[in-house]
């Protein structure tokens, strides 16, 4: 029975793993841009400016005065407007609308940038054996991300002025999982798994991967709670909070770990010490094992991320530093993925 690829009038082609790897790295780069724009959207309080999720018609922004007035009227019905932005001008609304619109437009662009090439590679038989299900899983995660995004926005439209921090954490985490999945699959496709042989790989440090990945994931989740609760404003001093190593009332109850701004900031900044120490130790082990640039990237990025976190606190969470801090988290995930792949599989 003829396959679709053989039935259609395409020339005979072989699998093209390197072309697919480049495509996946481009998608990962787009996801990184999406994370950065998401940070801007959050810090400018723009995420609730569009109160509907119109997959097709929402592709175009309001183009006439009447359309802008209608969009503004919908926003004026939201809790954020009524509790925080009463009296906002239409010009100010257009400013916050812009970032949420760009964020959603990027989501649509990433969907197309994944779906269309995937269909082409699939139909023309260019996908190597064993990768189709993995690519479909990444595509499904992308579709899920859109649903999570709306689930997150919906949480902030009634009785609150911001989205639910736990939903923000899920949204950010899934974006970084997609980015890491694209990078890992691209590295696999570059044939790193076939280089060096099992004997060479046994000398590479592997035991660090899951413990560090879990630690970094927990820190990123707490970073999302810090952002969602605006907990970065809870204290503007470092290394002490309110003149204390452990501020009064912090860690008073389990619920406060995800709901009390002082506790959330304290946990996030405390975890930062553990992540930095662990990353530097891993980087040193990788350097000794010959990982080179991977070790430098991991060690350098964690130091930069730590410094950005301190600067964010000292400067009362300015938008440029806050966005850079979120971007740093995404880059740290990418560097960890790159190093972990080398430890487990090969040189790619």
Distance CA 24, CA 21 (A): 5
Distance CA 325, CA 39 (A): 9
**Is 334 domain-assigned?**
yes
Q: Please determine, for residue 15, whether its predicted confidence score (pLDDT) is greater than 60.
A: yes
**Is 9 domain-assigned?**
no
Decide which of 174, 190, 206 is a domain's last residue.
190
DSSP at 244 = B
* Nearest CA among 72, 48, 71, 74 for reference residue 160: 48
Token pair of 302 as six digits = 């964690």
Decide which of 159, 190, 221 is a domain's last residue.
190
232-250 pLDDT, tens digit each: 999 999 999 999 999 988 8
**Is 8 domain-assigned?**
no
Q: In terms of domains, do 231 and 160 share one?
A: no
Q: In terms of domains, do 186 and 90 share one?
A: yes
Domain range enclosing 71 = 14-190
**Is 2 domain-assigned?**
no
pLDDT bracket for residue 346 (50, 70, 90): low
Q: In terms of domains, do 211 and 310 share one?
A: yes
pLDDT bracket for residue 201 (50, 70, 90): low
Q: In terms of domains, do 213 and 310 share one?
A: yes
Q: In terms of domains, do 345 and 216 share one?
A: yes
Token pair of 204 as six digits = 């590479």
The more confidently predicted of residues 238 and 197 is 238
Mark 331-343 as b/e (b = at least 16 C-beta within 10 Å): bbbbbbbbbbbbb
For residue 192, what pLDDT is reported?
47
For residue 30, what pLDDT is reported?
98
Token pair of 323 as six digits = 């966005």
Q: In terms of domains, do 242 and 135 share one?
A: no
Give 243: exposed, middle or buried? Use CB within 10 Å, 0-12, 13-18, 19+: exposed
Q: Please determine, for residue 324, whether its predicted confidence score (pLDDT) is greater than 60.
A: yes
26-63 pLDDT, tens digit each: 999 999 999 999 999 999 999 999 999 888 878 899 99
How many distinct structural domains can be found in the chain? 2
Distance CA 1, CA 12 (A): 17
161-187 pLDDT, tens digit each: 899 999 999 999 999 999 999 999 999
Q: In terms of domains, do 118 and 43 share one?
A: yes
* Mean pLDDT score of the chain: 91
DSSP states of 275-331:
HHHHHHHHHHHHHHHT-THHHHHHHHHHHHHHHHHHHHHHTT--HHHHHHHHHHHHH
Q: In terms of domains, do 45 and 181 share one?
A: yes
268-280 pLDDT, tens digit each: 999 999 999 999 9
């Amino acid at each position: 029975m003829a396959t679709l690829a053989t039935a259609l009038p395409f020339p005979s082609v072989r699998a093209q793993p390197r072309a697919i790897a480049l495509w996946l790295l481009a998608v990962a780069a787009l996801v990184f841009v999406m994370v950065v724009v998401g940070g801007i959207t959050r810090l400018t309080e723009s995420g609730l400016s569009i109160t509907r999720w119109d997959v097709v018609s929402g592709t175009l922004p309001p183009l006439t005065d009447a359309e802008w007035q209608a969009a503004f009227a919908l926003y004026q019905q939201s809790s954020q407007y009524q509790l925080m932005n009463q009296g906002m001008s239409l010009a100010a609304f257009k400013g916050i609308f812009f970032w949420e619109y760009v964020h959603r437009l990027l989501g649509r662009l990433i969907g197309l940038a994944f779906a269309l090439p995937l269909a082409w590679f699939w139909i023309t038989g260019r996908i190597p054996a064993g990768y189709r299900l993995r690519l479909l899983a990444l595509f499904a995660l992308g579709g899920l991300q859109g649903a999570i995004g709306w689930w997150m926005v919906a949480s902030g439209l009634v009785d609150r002025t911001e989205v639910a921090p736990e939903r923000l954490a899920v949204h950010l985490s899934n974006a970084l999982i997609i980015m890491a999945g694209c990078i890992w699959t691209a590295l696999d496709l570059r044939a790193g798994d076939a280089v060096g042989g099992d004997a060479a790989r046994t000398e590479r440090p592997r035991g660090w991967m899951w413990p560090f990945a879990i630690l970094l994931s927990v820190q990123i989740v707490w970073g999302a709670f810090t952002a969602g609760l605006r907990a970065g404003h809870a204290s503007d001093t470092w290394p002490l909070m309110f003149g204390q190593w452990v501020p009064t009332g912090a860690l008073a109850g389990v619920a406060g770990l995800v709901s009390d701004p002082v506790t959330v900031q304290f946990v996030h900044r405390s975890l930062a010490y553990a992540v930095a120490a662990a990353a530097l130790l891993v980087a040193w082990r990788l350097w000794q094992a010959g990982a080179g640039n991977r070790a430098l990237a991991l060690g350098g990025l964690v130091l930069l991320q730590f410094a950005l976190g301190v600067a964010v606190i000292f400067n009362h969470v300015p938008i440029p530093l806050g966005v850079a801090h979120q971007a740093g988290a995404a880059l740290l995930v990418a560097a960890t993925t790159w190093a972990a792949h080398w430890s487990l599989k090969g040189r790619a």
